[in-house]
């Protein structure tokens, strides 16, 4: 029992370490595309099914809500999907969905400059999903788990989303944008619809 408890603690600790490492990285290094290799490595090491969607694939999936946030940046957005099977395939999975805003300026509805550097932490939910999936792969619980990360940045530019714009989400619903600093809801709306 003590060895099993130690192994569990190590697995959880390693997952937390990955999450914290990603969260502490500056936004110019921890970009949306930077999150894909650690996810692929986790998938390979634990034999997960892995799917990585970039801008073209997100367009094909009609993820207009997430893409509306990503249109303000030249960085390629990423939707990361890791699937762990710990029981019968027909059993519904637990789905973990994390917000991966590698930097959130607020977009056109720009945030105050004071403490804006902390917005590199807006990808912590996505980092937590990757850390959790790494721990799950080691612990091998008897449950199916899907981990999804919607990763992009929210930046002001000539192409950025504007207050008053209307976009169509992956679910088919239309969303009117009132404040572009509500980017997390836009990213998670498509990630949730994709995960259903």
Exactly one of 62, 85, 111, 162 is catalytic; which is it? 111
Q: Chain-centre distance of CA 47, in angstroms?
A: 20
Rounded to 10 deg, the angle between the 124-139 and 2-24 helix axes is 160
Exactly one of 49, 140, 173, 185 is catalytic; which is it? 185
Residue with tokens 């530019």: 157
Backbone angles phi, psi at 75, to 5 degrees: -65, 140
Tell me whether residue 55 is one of the annotated catalytic residues: no
Considering only CA atoms, give the Rg of the chain. Answer: 17
Task: Compute the distance between CA of residue 66 and CA of residue 136 in angstroms, rounded to an integer.
Answer: 27
Task: Compute the distance between CA of residue 83 and CA of residue 58 in angstroms, rounded to an integer.
Answer: 19
Tell me whether residue 85 is one of the annotated catalytic residues: no
Residues annotated as catalytic are 111, 185
């Amino acid at each position: 029992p003590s060895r099993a408890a130690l192994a569990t603690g190590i697995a959880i600790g390693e997952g937390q370490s990955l999450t914290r490492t990603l969260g502490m990285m500056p936004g110019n290094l921890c970009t949306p595309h930077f999150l894909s290799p650690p996810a692929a490595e986790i998938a390979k090491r634990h034999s997960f099914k892995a799917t990585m969607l970039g801008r073209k694939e997100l367009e094909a999936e009609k993820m207009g809500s997430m893409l509306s946030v990503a249109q303000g940046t030249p960085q390629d957005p990423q939707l990361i999907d890791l699937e762990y099977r710990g029981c019968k395939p027909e059993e519904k999975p637990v789905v973990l969905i994390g917000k991966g805003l590698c930097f959130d300026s607020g977009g056109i509805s720009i945030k105050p400059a004071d403490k804006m550097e902390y917005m590199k932490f807006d990808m912590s939910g996505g980092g937590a999903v990757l850390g959790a999936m790494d721990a799950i792969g080691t612990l091998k619980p008897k449950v199916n788990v899907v981990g999804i990360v919607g990763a992009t940045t929210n930046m002001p530019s000539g192409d950025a989303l504007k207050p008053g714009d209307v976009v169509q989400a992956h679910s088919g619903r239309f969303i009117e944008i009132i404040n572009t600093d509500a980017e997390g809801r836009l990213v998670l709306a498509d990630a949730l619809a994709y995960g259903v």
